[in-house]
Amino acid sequence: MQVCLKTTLTLMLTFFSSSAALAATEYQRLFSKGKWSVDLNYPKSGEYTWCSADTYSSSQAFSLNAWDDQTFSISVFDDNWNLAPRDVVFQVQVDNRTNWTMNGSASDSSVYIFPDDLEKTATFLEEVMQGNVVRVRNQNGATVAQFSLSGSYASTLQLFECMKMIGWGNSSSDPFGNSSDPFR
């Protein structure tokens, strides 16, 4: 089971790229379980869409985001933060496992990362899906946020379904994708 899950996660994250802007004006709730929800997000301008799996704790949110340009991001929001735009190092720990060190960015009320290592990201998502709690720490190790992972397994699977809706896995670079005779 664990090998299949990791393979599935790896395949779903195959199309990593660069960063994207973050500002939803509308959303459609696709799924909710435990402390998690999955949304299809889109601004009225229609410039881009993304899928998000989110969990909340008072004024904070932990979010897994898959963008229609096939980028992926991990974000932590806190309405009380006022962060200057800059590079930032933060840690994320699922249950009592080893900390994941994230070299990301800070801006306004969030820290975020666009991971570029497919294998590590799949392993991280696997931990999130199987875990009970995720803690976010600053570079000094102080906990700045904590979230329940109740519902994260089913929500991450629904995130993958949403990713298909916005075109993940439908790469035009697939030489066999749209041809009944790929050797012509």
Contact 30, 39 (CB under 8 A): yes
Which letter does DSSP use for residue 166 in this model? T
Buried b / exposed e across 53-72, counting CB within 10 Å, b at 16+? bbbeeeebbbbbbbbbebbb
Pairing mode, strands 26-33 and 36-42: antiparallel
Instruction: Compute CA 181 distance to the chain's CA centroid, rounded to the nearest angstrom.
Output: 36
- pLDDT of 11 reads 40
Residue 102 exposed, middle or buried by CB count within 10 Å (0-12, 13-18, 19+): buried
| Phi and psi angles of residue 20, each rounded to the nearest 5 degrees, phi first | -145, 165
Residue 118 is predicted with a pLDDT of 81
What is the rounded distance in angstroms from the CA atom of residue 150 to the CA atom of residue 129? 9
Q: Burial, 171: exposed, middle or buried (Cβ in 10 Å; 0-12, 13-18, 19+)?
A: exposed
- Write down the pTM of the prediction: 0.79
Domains of the chain with CATH codes? 2-165 (2.60.40.1880)
Please give the average pLDDT of every successive group of 10 residues along the chain, which has 184 residues: 42 35 68 95 84 94 94 95 96 96 95 91 95 96 96 96 89 46 50
What is the structure's pLDDT at 42? 86
